[in-house]
A and B are shown apart, each in its own frame.
Chain A
Amino acid sequence: MAQTLSGIGVSPGVATGPVARMAAPPVVPTEATASGDPEAENQAALAAMQAVAATLEERASRAPKEAAGVLGAQAMMAQDPTLASKVTEGVQAGKAAVTAVTEAFEEFRAMLAAAGPYMAERVADLDDLRNRTVATLLGVPMPGVPDPGHPFVLVALDLAPADTATLDAGRVRGIITEEGGPTSHTAILAKSLGIPAVVACRGATAVAEGETVLVDGTEGSVVVGPDEATVREALDAQEAKLASLQAVSGPGRTADGHPVQLLVNIAGDRDLAAAAAADAEGVGLFRTEFLFLDRPDAPTGEEQQAVYQRVFDAFSGRKVVVRTLDAGADKPLQFVTVPNEPNPALGVRGLRTSRRHPRLLEEQLAAVAGAAAATTAQVWVMAPMVSTPAEAAAFAEQVHGHGLGTAGVMVEVPAAAVRARHVAAVCDFLSIGTNDLSQYTYAADRMAGELADLLDAWQPALLELVRLTAEAGSALGKPVGVCGEAASDPLLALVFIGLGVTSLSMAPVSVPAVRAAVAAHTLAECRGLAGLALEAEDGRAARTAVRAATRS
């Protein structure tokens, strides 16, 4: 009888195969006896750490760039001079090498763990290093990815970067971990390797070696012992999905022809060619921070205008929404950020920066206007972190004063969403930034991985604010977009459309799947899905209800 386990899908796709489990970490003997020769013990310990570092460096040299960085950092930890001196202190106090190593690692582990949940991944790296060093010292099998000699689905408690980095996508068909979250190494690396993965999957490590499983990294489910029909259905559905993505192109349209602009987010002019080549109607979010970061003073007007010109030229004839400088909080600037704000996310950031530095915004708008005058791109300008209608009105007036016709504001602060009617009345369009809006709505730090459930863009309270904003726009005939990664979730995109959103902006790679999903549903269907999501108890229930409805 098939059994279904559920977790969090972190790398999309469907895969099936027999389970192979990770070797258990070595057990440190509680009463390891020292040889009585501290010098020999010291040399053994340091040699083991060097050997571990060498293995990691060798793996790093074969791994893709992102994984190589993580492995390289772990190799640095194994060669840490302070760690080595603590080990030496231990053996000189008469301890066995394995004990001294374990205790030295434990000391740093406690320090990193004390720094908070933010450090959880580094703690996992350190535990992995300790296990490797101990296994080397004891001469027991190295914990790590198994090699059963055939393709398999890897099951583990959690994966360290050393495990994930050298995974062979041809061998490892899927990954399931009992622990870990959406921001874990497992998630990041599985995604970069294109291996379907489910994390935080309770019961995964209880699945027997060799048992066949069906992993759905899109839904976050694992079927243990599926029958052939189930497997075939899942694989067929995946193939059909891929085929349907390629079948649709051009401007976003629902099945009944309702237009939904599909736009891309860009953060500079580095990937401009690729972004411009995407089948999209323009740029929904052109972040300008990159021009201002890592420098002691603001770029000159000419310097800015040249960059804006390049972007507008790449998108000539299309729409480009420029977001004015969003400094502060997680993007401090040397020349504007207020030092030592107790709570920078709630401090002087975004448009608020212009209270202290009005010239910065003036100069930026002048540069945008200069570039806009010499292009066929339709240039729209919006401000980040707007809280009140008065701020929106002042910004719009300033933008119009520069001869730029279309001025909007981002809705990221709940106050702006609640008063969207008044905000929309004084500017030309609204654009919802879901990441910040959920952070402020749920009072949950964007960087706090353990609060991921609260930061879920499917949370009904967030969707209510999207609805308020979209309704306000629609009542006044003003466009309301969503920019931010939430728009790249094809199902959530349908909900946003149902709530009244008129454009979606996302990473270029996400556009085809969203376009296909939109094309497969009518506006009325989207409205029905939005209603289901709003009625749900929480983010998870909203997603489940909408997914079930799109299947029927």
Chain B
Amino acid sequence: MMAQRRVVVGSKVGLHARPAAMFVQAAAKQPVKVTIAKAAGGDPVDARSILSVLALDARGGDEVVLAAEGDGAEQALDELAALVARDLDSEG
């Protein structure tokens, strides 16, 4: 069963630059493969691929959909969704 989370990008700059890198690094640490897509439409891409995430061009305020399946999917999605919702660019 595919689990999903819809979340609004909290970083002003969007999922670009530092926020994108932080997101991809966190995705790479998950035990399951997570995909990310824009809620507005478009194909889901591998959340561990920085180039694919950048090419999504998700801006601050855009809604994205995270999806995963298998053991640990729910927890992985919770963790990544919380990260996406934060303003990563304004932090330390």
Contact = CB atoms under 8 A, between A and B. Distances in A.
Nearest to A289: B90
A116 B16 CA distance: 13
A330 B12 contact: yes
B30 interface: no
A344 B8 CA distance: 14
Contacts of A226: none
A332 B61 contact: yes
Given A294-B10, A330-B12, A332-B10, A119 B25 contact: no
B17 interface: yes
B8 A334 contact: yes
Interface residues of A, number: 32
Interface string A91-124: 0000000000000000010011011101100100
A376 to B, nearest CB: 31
A330 B46 CA distance: 27
B75 to A, nearest CB: 19
Q: Provide the main secondary structure of the chain A interface.
A: helix
Contact of B49 (A82, A116, A119, A294): A82
Contact of B55 (A81, A111, A293, A332): A111
Interface stretch (A72-80, A383-391, A435-443): A72-80
B65 interface: no
A108 B56 CA distance: 11
A340 B63 CA distance: 8
A294 B45 contact: no
B49 A80 contact: yes
A448 to B, nearest CB: 13
B5 interface: no
A111 B46 CA distance: 15
Given A81-B46, A82-B51, A119-B54, A330 B60 contact: yes
A69 B25 CA distance: 13
A126 B87 CA distance: 25
A339 B63 contact: yes
Contact of A331 (B12, B46, B55, B57): B12
B24 A76 contact: yes
Contacts of B52: 80, 82
Contacts of A83: 49, 51
Contacts of B91: 294
A118 B57 contact: yes
Nearest to B49: A82
A122 B51 CA distance: 9
B21 A112 contact: no
A112 B50 contact: no
A72 B91 CA distance: 17
Contacts of B87: 293-294
Contacts of B55: 108, 111-112, 114-115
A83 B46 CA distance: 11
Nearest to B57: A115
A112 B60 contact: no
Q: Which of A73, A77, A114 has the most CB of B within 10 A?
A: A73
B63 to A, nearest CB: 7
Contacts of A111: 51, 55
Interface string B27-59: 000000000000000000110111110110100
Contacts of A70: 17
A290 B20 CA distance: 21
Nearest to B58: A115
Contacts of A73: 17-18, 20-21, 50
A324 to B, nearest CB: 19
B26 interface: no
A337 interface: yes
B50 A80 contact: yes
B63 A108 contact: no
Given A76-B21, A108-B51, A82 B85 contact: no
6 contacts: A69-B17, A111-B55, A122-B16, A337-B61, A341-B61, A344-B61
Given A82-B46, A330-B60, 6 more contacts: A73-B18, A83-B49, A112-B54, A115-B54, A294-B10, A339-B61
Interface of B: 8, 10, 12, 16-18, 20-21, 24-25, 45-46, 48-52, 54-55, 57, 60-61, 63, 85-87, 90-91
Interface of A: 69-70, 72-73, 76-77, 80-83, 108, 111-112, 114-116, 118-119, 122, 126, 290, 293-294, 330-332, 334, 337, 339-341, 344
The 5 A-B pairs at the shortest CB distance, nearest first, are namely A82-B49, A115-B57, A111-B55, A73-B21, A108-B51
